[in-house]
């Protein structure tokens, strides 16, 4: 039961980040809140592609977490035991980077990344 709730929380938070990345890819001028604020305003074309790739990676991470929790994407279960640790490592880095970013507005993502980290660790060790 706990794993289910945590996987849903992880997935909901990830969906929010995916929506944000989608907005960046679509040209919404929120670049200050991403990549250390290096691209204020609209992302340039190359970074829009990066945002789409981020969306795909995050979606895969959510699928791995849901598979490891036994909720959905059970065909991924053979790799989710290993994959969940990649998710954990990614969100360790994400939490650190979002905490130390020079962009003050980007720091709003640090608690989100921390929540994703905590939920993924608990699912990984369960």
* Contact yes or no for 51/25 (Cβ under 8 A): yes
**What is the percentage of the chain residues whose pLDDT exceeds 70?**
100
Predicted TM-score of the model (pTM): 0.94
Burial of 69 (0-12, 13-18, 19+ CB in 10 A): buried
* Contact yes or no for 32/105 (Cβ under 8 A): yes
Quick: pLDDT tens for 62-85: 999 999 999 999 999 999 999 999
């Amino acid at each position: 039961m706990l794993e289910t709730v945590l996987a849903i929380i992880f997935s909901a938070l990830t969906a929010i980040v995916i929506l944000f990345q989608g907005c960046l890819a679509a040209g919404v001028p929120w670049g200050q809140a991403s990549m250390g604020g290096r691209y204020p305003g609209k992302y340039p074309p190359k970074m829009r592609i990066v945002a789409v790739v981020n969306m795909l990676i995050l979606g895969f991470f959510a699928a791995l977490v849901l598979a490891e929790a036994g909720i959905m994407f059970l065909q991924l279960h053979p790799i989710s035991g290993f994959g969940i640790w990649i998710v954990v490592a990614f969100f360790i880095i994400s939490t650190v980077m979002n905490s130390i970013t020079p962009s003050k507005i980007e720091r709003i993502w640090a608690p989100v990344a921390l929540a994703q980290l905590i939920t993924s660790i608990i699912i990984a060790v369960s």
